[in-house]
A and B are shown apart, each in its own frame.
Chain A
Amino acid sequence: MMSPPKKDNVFRALDRKLGAVAEFTMRQYRTKLSTWVILGVGAIAIFIVVLFYVDSMQQEIEAIDNDGDSMDWDGDGYPTGQERIHGTDPDNPESHPGTFNPPIAPDPPEKWINEDDFDWDLTASGDTTAGYDDDGDCRLADSTQSQKDNNRNNIECDIILDYNEMRGEWSEPNSDRLVDEDPDEEKYAKEAIHRAFLLAIGKMGFVFLLGIFLPLFLATGLIREEMDNSTIHFMLAKPIARRDIFLGRIVGYLGIVWPYIIGMGIIVAIISGFAGPGDSFFRFADLGMWMAIIFATMLATLVYGMLFCALGTLWKRGIILALPFAAWELGMAILSFGAPSTSILRFSVIGWSLNIIDAASLVVWPNMGLFISMGMWGGGHGGGGMWDDSLEGANALSAFASDTGLGISPIATIVVSTLVLLFQAAVLWLVGSAIFKGKEIE
């Protein structure tokens, strides 16, 4: 017998069949109520977190007089800071700048709150000295040389920054007395909370929650439901390989999930871009972070989709097999916050996905480690770690920010992580379609 004439090459034909399966899958998912319930629940979960964030951005953060120099201890009407730079005795009501000729009017106390903010150039890496004594209380004329340079680096009124290569983090800043000691809490906290929010929602909200739960509910049944309904027979009796059916189903699932992730990412990016702190009306620099978050989540849904679809094909109750994986990935996510270079993370999907976000955060916000270190130091009133002097937001940011853990440059990290995730997806595709191929279907 004659075989049908070949209309075009193998790849075009495969593409047509794949396209047909993918298109069918997308239309099938659109008609299912459960799809919309799952996507809706995901959106609600994300937006609840966004609400908390927007609320925290609206809240005023109390300005604290960290160094206490806005107080008028002797009751002469002059704040301590003003008396100090004019050389009068802050503890003697008879001694104040009002007695000068001509007399100097007293400053309002607010002028001595947040008057010595951080002056650390965060873009210059490798600096070992930073800080400027804005209020002049370090550079007083009657201070001795050793008072002005009590960190002994022969630079008056500065802060020694030391990046510890071995531990991969900044050591506690070592400052001269009264340098950058009264920082602007609100300015620091808003920036730190904003960054912490982006990292938290990117890592836990997008990559973990959406990245695992969408495939858990949407990909596990891709093949299994058709098998249980016996509707798979129609497809199996057509000249299409099971491996291509598997891939076509995944592509169709991604056709639903990826636009959703991109849409959600854009919406949250716009909200946080306008609500976030900063001088400009929109935080354009953050868009790099959002691209990384969306990209990492897309890759995660691809790999988990392949995995869960394979597990669903393997067993009727594949979701039970998938849950331990989800738990494992949650553990790996938490581990990656504290110990991003742990080698066990290489055996997870989420470890590689989070690497992409961490790498992007290092590109978008250079010297993230120093920024955290600044907030932890908080002006240096802690008296050598006696009590926590950190500024609001510093701890949160420190919890969610981490190094990439691969020990290579951020761009290289993104490239390597992407390749690894694509490799994982390819392997799982082959494994999944091998399981499908071996299945006898009654």
Chain B
Amino acid sequence: MGKLKPSSGSIKLFGTDPWKNPAPYARVGFVPEHEKMHDWMTAHGFVSLFARLNGLTREEAKSEADRVLNFVGLTDVAHKQLGRYSKGMRQRVKIAHALVNDPELIVLDEPLQGCDPLARTTIMNVIRELGKMGRTVLVSSHILNEIERITEQIVILHNGRLLALGNLHAIREKMDNIPHTISIGCENPKELAKDIINNAAVYGISFPSGDRLQIQTHNLNAVHRELPALIVTNGHKVSSIDNPDDDLESILNHLTGGLAR
């Protein structure tokens, strides 16, 4: 985005080098990863400032800010200071600021990081909405699960190399053949194991410690769909649920056959 020089090759944004000419930024909305914002500003002030940087007049900027804040669902709190916003709300303000001037391309860098589930859903809805409106939306994320809920087209890059490109399901299918581990921290792992072993997708169970249960499965989603109901109905006391190998590292590992590491 014209902030770092490419270490090799060249970058073109709508046919122009953004390092030399900022004009193409008028057609791009960028949501940076950084969490710091100008906490003393209101969301409305923040968004209308950047609307003005797109060349709008003060009045145009104000109505544009109203429009985009409404789009991300922040109209009610638009005149509160950013410092008093939750992480998810701040993330939405950042998205709103990128949407001024109705850009053709929207780039989001880790838009879901640090958000609670409710905020994730709202943000994903906003992103999907943008896609339906015909905008090109580019989302960078380390969490494959999130991406799956937003889009079907993915690009996996590692160390500057293209590892996979295309339909998520195709990539996913390949990955379904690899075993996944779910680690559950709970009071009584053996009781829980008894209940969960009936799930068809589960093929292995182990107890790494007295308060922990590990499940091996080929179908992560199937287990995750059933797990919450199971825990609630049988009254298990669960302190944590992790997917230790559902991160980029292990996916990459699988995709590259161990080369990526």
Interface residues in chain A, defined as those with a beta carbon under 8 Å from any beta carbon in chain B: 1, 3-4, 7, 13, 16-17, 19-21, 24, 27-28, 31, 229-231, 233-242, 440-442
Contacts and interface: CB of A to CB of B under 8 A. Distances in A.
Contacts of B53: 17, 20-21, 235, 238-240
10 contacts: A27-B45, A229-B36, A230-B36, A233-B32, A233-B34, A234-B94, A235-B53, A237-B2, A237-B98, A238-B53
Contacts of A440: 3-5
B101 interface: yes
Which of A3, A234, A241 has most B Cβ within 10 Å?
A234
A237 B40 contact: no
Interface of B: 1-5, 14, 22-30, 32, 34, 36-38, 40-41, 45, 49-50, 52-57, 61, 94, 97-98, 101, 104
B94 to A, nearest CB: 8
A441 B3 contact: yes
Most chain B CB within 10 A, of A28, A231, A240, A242, is at A240
Contact of A7 (B28, B49, B55): B55
Contacts of B37: 231, 234
A20 B54 CA distance: 10
A221 to B, nearest CB: 14
A252 to B, nearest CB: 12
Contacts of B101: 4
Contacts of B56: 16
A12 to B, nearest CB: 9
Contact of B49 (A4, A13, A20, A230): A20
B134 to A, nearest CB: 12
A230 B32 contact: yes
Rank and list the top 9 A-B pairs by shortest CB-CB distance, nearest first.
Answer: A20-B52, A237-B30, A230-B34, A238-B53, A239-B26, A233-B32, A239-B25, A31-B40, A13-B55
A236 B1 CA distance: 9
Given A20-B49, A230-B34, A240 B22 contact: yes
Contacts of B61: 20
B5 A237 contact: no
A239 B38 contact: no
Contact of B3 (A7, A231, A239, A442): A442
Contacts, number: 85
Contact of B97 (A16, A19, A20, A234): A234
Given A229-B36, A233-B3, 5 more contacts: A21-B53, A27-B45, A237-B25, A239-B22, A441-B4
Tell me which of A19, A27, A239 has the highest count of chain B C-beta atoms within 10 A of its own C-beta.
Answer: A239
B50 to A, nearest CB: 6
A235 B49 CA distance: 9
Contacts of A239: 22-26, 53-55
A405 to B, nearest CB: 44
A16 B57 contact: yes
B1 A237 contact: yes
B25 A238 contact: yes
A1 B26 CA distance: 13
B25 A442 contact: no
A26 B243 CA distance: 48
A234 B41 CA distance: 14
Contacts of B34: 230-231, 233
Contacts of B2: 236-237
Contacts of A21: 53
A146 B5 CA distance: 90
Nearest to B98: A237
Nearest to B24: A239
A188 B23 CA distance: 66
Nearest to A6: B55
Contacts of A442: 3-4
Contacts of B97: 234
Given A20-B49, A234-B50, A1 B28 contact: no
A4 B24 CA distance: 11
A7 B101 CA distance: 13
A241 B22 contact: yes
A323 B115 CA distance: 44
A231 B40 contact: no
A4 B3 contact: no
Contact of B52 (A4, A16, A233): A16
Nearest to B31: A237
B108 to A, nearest CB: 12
Contacts of A20: 49, 52-53, 61
Nearest to B50: A238
B103 to A, nearest CB: 10
Contacts of A230: 32, 34, 36
Nearest to A241: B22
A111 to B, nearest CB: 70
Contacts of B25: 237-240
A334 B36 CA distance: 45
